[in-house]
């Protein structure tokens, strides 16, 4: 069912971007549109990264392998929104002033960490084709464990960004920890069953 | 806003975005209509206020009057307060930069007691009960006590001043405030020679302020801000009671707030319930929350880096996405002439 509905998932994942275009066209971004656009894209990047990370635990819990069929799509969507988030920041907040980019990366820790998260995700996106998966073999799996690092950096980026109220970043961090824990518990229990079977 | 200066006309002519253009055209027409209907009335009022010899400066510094307030919750000010507004003086030194529209000034706010998102205060501040209101004056004054809003405001004539407002988050606005000098208010209570600083406190009532109920806040309530006594006595420092010729909307800090135009916006504390004259530098809310980011002075300064936002330039609101309204940030927000002497010999990178 999940596999069959792939085009639906594709369109659903695209809908935040479509909505943003609608807001831009209709002048619905408020008096400080640069900030609104950057924040909108940032939060959706985070959400898709979390969605991508939830598919393996969902498979482990439900035993339904179909969740994995949309994992690459969701991961690439996360990268798509991260790239738009970064582009919007460069274009609308910095106005393409590159000297200010270095100042931001060096002096503002949340930007350093956010930029690092993008750098970690970049090779994962590049190696997401079938050809690359085949070519890299076991190394591919190793490399794509980088997504855990990227998620931690993204969570840190979000926490560091919060000015005073940590409620929202804490909710996201809790979900991430839960997703990691589910993987760990399921994997260890599976390993135990295998040992018991022997 | 109503009489366009050449620079203003230039800025909208080069703005390609049609919607932005249309709104400005609309505002301009609105302004022209207002000139036809009410123009003569203003001129008479101004002439009475300032003397007809200053006709030219009057033409520049006329009261801001016609604004669309549709959909913005109005502060239910008592009648006596509303009646003080029409007679307000117009400050001749006001900036003539294009005003930030009323709907942006009143719908894009930081007032964390009502939520941390910019739109939250406009959404939730309607629950603030601003009448009756009282203010406690205490500490190093000869006449301490708790006074009603009327006691506090009655002795003062109101003035309209157009100031730049610069937020530490690197956006800025141009706001026509109505208020009077804080120094005049303080003098009323006879500060003693021991009064070296002034501390201000905002109302702290979770029943009226839903933002106070949010968990995981790094802010200690109530919100406290402070000034050194000479900063407080500076003629630029205002107690704001309104904007755009109207009483202060709650999201902007009704019924009375501070306006310190050469400091980052968070120094201009809102909805004040207590003013204390003290001997020592008072601990202030943002300084306590993140001392490496927010100093006691928090003077607008493009040369002092901030760990969150570059302070070199700002987005003057309203800004547009593809034609952003960037402005180079000026030392003391452009008010150096009036305030630089206060900080003579101080290292502003240390006392940020």
Does the pLDDT value for residue B211 go beyond 80?
yes
List the beta bridge partners of residue B177: B161, B243
Closest by CA to B180, choosing from B113, B108, B259, is B259
Residue A65 token pair: 């392998």
Contact B269, B219 (CB under 8 A): no
Contacts of A167 in chain B (CB under 8 A): 214-217
Q: Which two tokens stand for residue B236?
A: 């630029």
Residues of A in contact with B294 (CB under 8 A): none
Is A164–B20 a contact, with Cβ atoms under 8 angstroms apart? Answer: no
pLDDT tens string B244-296: 999 999 999 999 999 999 999 999 999 999 999 999 999 999 999 999 999 99
The answer to whether the beta carbons of residues B275 and B136 sit under 8 Å apart is yes
The string over A156-168, giving b where at least 16 C-beta atoms fall within 10 Å of a residue's C-beta and e elsewhere, is: bbbbbbbbbbbeb
pLDDT at B115 over 80: yes
Query: What pLDDT score does B9 carry?
Result: 43
The burial class, CB within 10 Å (0-12 / 13-18 / 19+), for B59 is exposed
What does the pLDDT look like over B292-345, one tens digit per residue? Answer: 999 999 999 999 999 999 999 999 999 999 889 999 999 999 999 999 999 999
Task: Assess contact for B34 and B66: CB atoms under 8 A.
Answer: yes
CA A56 to chain centre: 14
Please compute the mean of the pLDDT values over residues A68-76 and round it to a whole number: 96
Q: Give the model's confidence band at B72: pLDDT under 50 very low, under 70 low, under 90 confident, else very high.
A: low
Phi, psi dihedral angles at B184 (to 5 degrees)? -65, -40
Single out the residue of B165, B323, B297, B153 nearest to residue B243, CA to CA: B165
Which residues lie closer than 8 Å to B74 by C-beta, 6 or more apart? B246, B247, B249
Return the pLDDT at B110. Answer: 97
Q: How large is the average pLDDT for residues A2-28?
A: 95
SS3 state of residue A198: coil
Mean pLDDT, rounded, of chain A: 92
**What percentage of chain A has pLDDT greater than the value 90?**
80
What number is the ipTM of this complex?
Answer: 0.88
A→B interface, C-beta within 8 Å:
24, 27, 29-35, 37, 92, 95, 100, 103-104, 107-110, 163-167, 170
pTM for the whole structure: 0.84
Between B29 and A10, name the one with better pLDDT. Answer: A10
% of chain B exceeding 70 in pLDDT: 80
Mean pLDDT, residues A57-69 taken together:
92
Residue predicted with more confidence, A193 or A172: A172
B115 or B7, higher pLDDT: B115
- Cβ atoms of B153 and B83 within 8 Å: the answer is no
Query: Backbone dihedral region of B145: left (phi > 0), alpha (psi from -120 to 50 degrees) or beta?
Result: left
- The stretch B56-73 carries a mean pLDDT of 60
Give pLDDT, residue B145.
98
Q: How far apart are CA B255 and CA B75, in angstroms?
A: 8
Closest Cβ opposite residue B305 in set A34, A107, A110: A107
Q: Do residues B177 and B332 lie in contact, with contact meaning Cβ atoms separated by under 8 Å?
A: no
Tell me if A103 and B310 make a contact (CB, 8 A cut-off).
yes
The CA distance from A23 to the nearest CA of chain B, in Å, is: 11
Q: Which of B319, B328, B329 to mutate to test the interface with A (most CBs of A within 10 A)?
A: B319
Query: What's the pLDDT tens digit per position in A84-103?
Result: 999 999 999 988 888 888 88
Binding residues of B: 109, 112-113, 167, 202, 252, 257, 268-270
Tell me which chain A residue has its CA closest to the CA of residue B117. Answer: A165
Residue A165 is given by DSSP the state B
Closest CA to B255 of B68, B82, B83: B82
Residue B41 and residue A57: Cα distance in Å, rounded? 72
What 8-state DSSP symbol labels residue A93?
I
pLDDT given at position A99 = 84
- Model confidence at B62, pLDDT cuts 50, 70, 90, reads confident
pLDDT at B184 over 70: yes
Residue B8 banded pLDDT, cuts 50, 70, 90: very low
Q: What is the pLDDT of residues A114-156, one digit of tens each?
A: 999 999 999 999 999 999 999 999 999 999 999 999 999 999 9
Name the DSSP letter for residue A65.
G
Cα B210 from Cα A127, distance rounded (Å): 48
pLDDT of residue A96: 81
* pLDDT surpasses 80 at A164: yes
pLDDT at res. B65: 63
How many other C-beta atoms can be found within 10 angstroms of the C-beta atom of residue A55?
Answer: 21
Residues of B with CB under 8 A from a CB of A: 17, 19-20, 100-101, 104, 107-108, 112, 116, 118-119, 169, 171, 214-219, 289, 305, 307-310, 312, 315, 317-321, 324, 326
- Report the largest interatomic distance among the alpha carbons of chain A, rounded to a whole angstrom: 66
Supply the mean pLDDT for chain B: 86
Domain ranges of chain A: 6-179
Give the long-range contacts of residues A76-80, CB within 8 A, separation 24 or more. Answer: A76/A125, A76/A128, A77/A13, A77/A14, A77/A48, A77/A52, A78/A45, A78/A48, A78/A49, A78/A51, A78/A52, A78/A121, A79/A121, A79/A122, A79/A124, A79/A125, A80/A17, A80/A48
Which residue of A30, A104, A163 is in closest CB contact with B310?
Answer: A104
What is the predicted pLDDT for the residue at B162? 98
Q: What is the pLDDT of residues B15-60, one digit of tens each?
A: 444 444 444 444 444 444 444 444 333 333 333 334 444 444 444 6
């Amino acid at each position: 069912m999940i596999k069959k509905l792939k085009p639906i998932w594709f369109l659903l994942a695209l809908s935040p971007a479509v909505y943003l275009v609608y807001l831009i066209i209709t002048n619905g971004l408020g008096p400080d549109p640069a900030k609104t656009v950057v924040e909108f894209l940032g939060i959706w990047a985070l959400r898709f990264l979390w969605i991508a990370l939830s598919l393996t635990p969902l498979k482990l819990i439900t035993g339904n392998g179909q969740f994995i069929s949309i994992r690459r799509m969701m991961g690439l969507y996360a990268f798509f929104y991260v790239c738009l988030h970064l582009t919007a920041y460069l274009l609308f907040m910095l106005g393409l002033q590159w000297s200010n980019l270095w100042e931001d990366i060096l002096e503002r820790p949340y930007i350093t960490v956010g930029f690092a998260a993008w750098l970690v995700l970049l090779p994962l996106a590049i190696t997401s084709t079938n050809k690359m998966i085949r070519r890299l073999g076991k190394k591919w799996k190793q490399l794509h464990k980088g997504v855990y690092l990227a998620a931690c950096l993204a969570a840190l980026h979000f926490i560091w960004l919060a000015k005073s109220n940590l409620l929202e970043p804490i909710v996201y961090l809790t979900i991430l920890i839960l997703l990691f824990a589910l993987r760990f518990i399921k994997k260890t229990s599976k390993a135990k069953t295998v040992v018991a079977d022997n | 806003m109503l009489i366009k200066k050449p620079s203003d006309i230039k800025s909208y002519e080069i703005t390609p975005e049609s919607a932005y253009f249309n709104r400005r055209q609309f505002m301009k027409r609105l302004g022209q209509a207002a000139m036809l209907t009410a123009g003569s009335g203003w001129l008479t009022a101004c002439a009475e206020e300032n003397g007809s010899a200053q006709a030219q400066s009057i033409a520049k510094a006329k009261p801001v009057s016609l604004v669309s307030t549709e959909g913005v919750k109005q502060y239910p000010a008592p009648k006596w307060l509303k009646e003080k507004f029409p007679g307000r003086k117009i400050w001749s030194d006001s900036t003539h930069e294009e005003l930030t529209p009323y709907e942006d000034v009143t719908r894009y706010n930081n007032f964390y007691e009502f939520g941390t998102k910019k739109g939250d205060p406009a959404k939730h501040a309607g629950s603030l009960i601003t009448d009756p209101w009282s203010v406690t004056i205490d500490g190093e004054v000869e006449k301490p006590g708790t006074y009603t809003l009327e006691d506090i405001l009655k002795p003062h004539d109101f003035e309209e001043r157009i100031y730049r407002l610069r937020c530490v988050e690197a956006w800025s606005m141009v706001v026509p405030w109505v208020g009077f000098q804080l120094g005049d208010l303080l003098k009323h209570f006879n500060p003693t020679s021991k009064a070296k600083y002034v501390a201000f406190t905002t109302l702290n009532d979770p029943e009226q302020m839903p933002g106070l109920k949010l968990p995981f806040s790094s802010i200690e309530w109530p919100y406290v801000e402070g000034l050194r006594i000479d900063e407080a006595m500076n003629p630029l420092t205002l107690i704001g009671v309104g904007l755009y010729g109207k009483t202060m909307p709650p999201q902007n800090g009704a019924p009375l707030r501070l306006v310190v135009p050469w400091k980052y916006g968070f120094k201009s504390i809102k909805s004040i319930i207590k003013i204390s004259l003290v001997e020592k530098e008072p601990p202030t809310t943002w300084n306590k929350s993140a001392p490496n980011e927010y100093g006691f002075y928090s003077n607008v300064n493009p040369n002092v880096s901030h760990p969150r936002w570059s302070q070199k330039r700002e987005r003057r609101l309203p800004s547009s996405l593809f034609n952003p309204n960037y402005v180079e940030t000026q030392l003391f927000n452009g008010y150096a002439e009036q305030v630089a002497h206060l900080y003579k010999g101080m290292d502003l990178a240390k006392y940020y």
